[in-house]
Each structure stands twice: as structure tokens, then as C-alpha cells.
């Protein structure tokens, strides 16, 4: 078997959740491209020499991509994980704002990615996004992307996965696509029939309380909570969540539980996680019980920043800020909550490695 050199470029890398999966699987990631300047510290601190390029993907051209790795490797991998907001369930329920490119300018990155693929013809393409995007009739940008791949002779596979099926302690549905110009490519099979639980992930952490930071871990820190919400969290049964409208005293019932739509919306907020199950999907607001089922299974508080990062499968030694003593809690949780679990990146990377190892040794 011959040896082939593989290089990876990650677009829309944010704080490297997909990239880190490739790094963990021993791929050489040569560059990250993102318009978020604050990402620069995380890349340089937590990764091994890849180049951070501060740029909007819409301003990236063929020549720039090719100059990064095209001329000195055999296998070129282009990875894309764009903002999911325009394709999310919540935003599709609001209005057409997120589908008007002139207003929101959010759909165009997928079309731009399609153009970059067509212009540079990477050997392998990977993308992931929210599960809704798989609806080609509703999201013509995705159908266009598939048409571009087909036109350029890629074999394509995509499916919606639940991350908890891959040993990730979180229920999170994502669309994962792989495409190759070599031969058929598939996402690896689920890694375990037993799902990893919240208990296995965070139960070992020492207890802390509301608006407290543990002295030995600056990221084991919780958010402030009002006195009324302190009363509410105490009223929620331990180790599980419940429909607040049916369990709380009248003065504790929140407005969303009083609406006709409470069964669809209200049951998703003011609840606790369960020890013996994966967590619900984390968001950028996962440090507040009023934003979802983010209450700690036992302690009368929402989960901490450290707990959120572990549920997102960030490694324990990851540095989220330059100054551990003074940092913006909301800024860091935004980065963590926006991420896809790092281990999903490993699943994608392992799938590509298996694909290439059918006929080659890769380096």
C-alpha cells in the first residue's frame, strides 16, 4: 500500500470543535478560517501549529485555499460548519427573515462553500449542520449544494444523527455529510449501544452553588439567579425535569406555562437534567434554568461552565480564556454552547480515515 499525505482546512471553525476532532485523530489541519477574531487565542493556545486566518468565508477565494495546501499533499480535505441559526427549528417558526439573503445574509455561506468546492475540487468534503437542513425542498441552498457535488463527480452520503449514539453525553440531532471523489464514503457506525450519561460526565465535580466559582477550577462557575428562580429550582424534583405548571405553586408558575402553547414550549424550560440519561441539547444560554432543562440533577442551581464544556466533550485541559481570574462568563458560554461536541468531530475524522485506509496508508 502506498502512503498518501493528507491535509485539512476548516472553514467556520469557531472554537475548533470539528477541527479538534481531526487533530485528535492525527490529521494535519493546516488552517482555520473564521471571521470571529476572538477565536485566535483558542487556536493558538489549544492546537498544534495550524494557521488562523481571520476572514469572512465570502471573501475567501480559490487561490487562497490552494496556496494553503494544494501543491504539497495528495489528499485534500475541506471541512465546513456554518452558523446553524438560519436552518434551526426556532427560527423557521419565526418568519422568513432568515431566508432573505439581502436582510440576513446568512444563507449565502452555503452557496459560497459550494462555489469553493467546485473551484478547488478537494478530495473529500465534510459538512455538518442542524437536522432541519436535510429537507431539500424547504432549503434549496442544500439541494444546490448536493447538485454541485453530483456535477463534480463526488459520491455523497448524509444522514441525521443523534450525538448520544456516539458516546456523547448529550441528545443533539445533527446533519452530517461526507463526500469523496475517490469511492463510496460513509459515516462510521454508532460506537456503543449504551449511551453515556450525565452522571458519568459531571458527577465527579465538587458541589458549588449559585454565583460561585470553585477555588480549584475557574471554569466550574455558575450564573447568577434571582430570588424567585432560586425558589423555583428548589421546587423542581431532583434527578429529572417536570412540567412546572402541574407541579409548582401558583405564584411560581412562569408566563410561558400560562399560555395555550405551554405544552410545546413550557415543558422545555425550568427543569433538571437526569443522572441516568444524556443531557438535553445545550445552547448558548445553557447556564440558566429559564432557557431549557439545564438544572443540575441534584444541586439547586443550573449547570456550571465546566459541566457544560464536559457535556460538549471538550477536554479538561482546554483553555477558554487568557485570564482565568477575570473573564466574561457569557462570552465563554456562548462559545461552548455554539459548539458541536468535539467527539462528533472525531467521528467525522475517523470516518474519513477509514475511507482512505481502504487502499492507502495516510500521513
Distance CA 125, CA 266 (A): 39
CB 210 within 8 A of CB 224: yes
Cα torsion 21, 339, 165, 286: sign: positive
Residues constituting the chain: 363
Place of cell 434571582: 226
The helix or strand, by DSSP H or E, that contains position 77, with its residue range, turns out to be strand 75-80
Query: Would strands 173-180 and 155-162 be described as parallel, antiparallel, or unpaired?
Result: antiparallel
Among 13, 39, 84, 286, the one annotated catalytic = 84
Q: Is 84 a catalytic residue?
A: yes
Nearest residue to 275 (alpha-carbon basis) of 229, 240, 232, 233: 240
Q: How many CA within 13 A on the CB side of residue 234? A: 11
Q: Is 177 helix (H, G, I), strand (E, B) or coil?
A: strand
**Residues marked as catalytic:** 84
Amino acid at each position: 500500500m502506498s502512503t498518501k499525505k493528507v491535509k485539512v482546512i476548516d472553514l467556520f471553525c469557531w472554537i475548533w470543535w470539528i477541527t479538534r476532532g481531526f487533530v485528535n485523530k492525527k490529521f494535519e489541519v493546516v488552517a482555520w478560517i473564521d471571521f470571529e477574531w476572538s477565536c485566535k487565542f483558542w487556536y493558538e493556545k489549544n492546537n498544534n501549529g495550524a494557521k488562523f486566518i481571520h476572514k469572512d468565508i465570502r471573501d475567501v477565494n480559490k487561490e487562497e485555499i490552494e496556496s494553503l495546501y494544494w501543491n504539497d499533499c495528495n489528499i485534500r480535505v475541506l471541512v465546513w460548519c456554518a452558523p446553524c441559526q438560519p436552518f434551526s427549528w426556532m427560527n423557521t417558526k419565526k418568519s422568513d427573515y432568515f431566508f432573505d439573503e439581502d436582510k440576513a445574509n446568512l444563507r449565502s455561506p452555503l452557496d459560497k462553500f459550494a462555489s469553493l468546492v467546485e473551484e478547488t475540487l478537494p478530495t473529500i468534503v465534510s459538512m455538518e449542520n442542524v437536522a432541519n437542513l436535510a429537507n431539500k425542498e424547504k432549503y434549496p441552498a442544500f439541494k444546490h449544494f448536493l447538485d454541485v457535488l453530483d456535477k463534480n463527480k463526488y459520491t455523497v452520503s448524509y444522514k441525521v444523527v443523534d450525538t448520544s449514539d456516539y458516546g456523547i453525553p448529550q441528545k443533539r440531532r445533527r446533519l452530517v455529510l461526507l463526500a469523496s471523489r475517490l469511492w463510496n464514503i460513509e459515516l462510521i457506525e454508532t460506537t456503543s449501544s449504551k449511551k453515556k450519561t450525565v452522571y458519568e460526565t459531571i458527577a465527579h465535580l465538587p458541589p458549588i452553588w449559585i454565583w460561585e466559582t470553585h477555588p480549584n477550577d475557574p471554569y466550574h462557575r455558575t450564573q447568577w439567579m434571582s430570588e424567585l428562580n432560586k425558589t423555583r429550582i428548589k421546587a423542581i424534583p431532583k434527578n429529572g425535569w417536570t412540567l412546572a405548571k402541574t407541579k409548582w405553586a401558583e405564584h411560581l408558575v412562569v408566563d410561558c406555562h400560562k399560555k395555550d402553547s405551554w405544552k410545546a414550549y413550557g415543558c422545555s424550560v425550568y427543569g433538571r437534567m437526569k443522572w441516568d440519561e444524556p443531557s438535553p441539547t445545550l445552547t448558548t444560554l445553557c447556564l440558566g434554568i429559564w432557557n431549557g432543562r439545564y438544572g443540575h440533577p441534584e444541586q439547586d442551581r443550573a449547570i456550571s461552565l465546566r459541566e457544560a464544556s464536559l457535556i460538549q466533550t471538550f477536554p479538561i485541559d482546554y483553555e477558554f480564556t487568557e485570564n482565568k481570574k477575570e473573564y466574561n462568563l457569557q462570552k465563554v458560554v456562548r462559545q461552548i454552547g455554539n459548539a458541536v461536541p468535539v467527539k462528533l468531530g472525531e467521528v467525522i475524522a475517523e470516518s474519513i480515515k477509514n475511507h482512505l485506509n481502504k487502499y492507502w496508508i495516510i500521513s
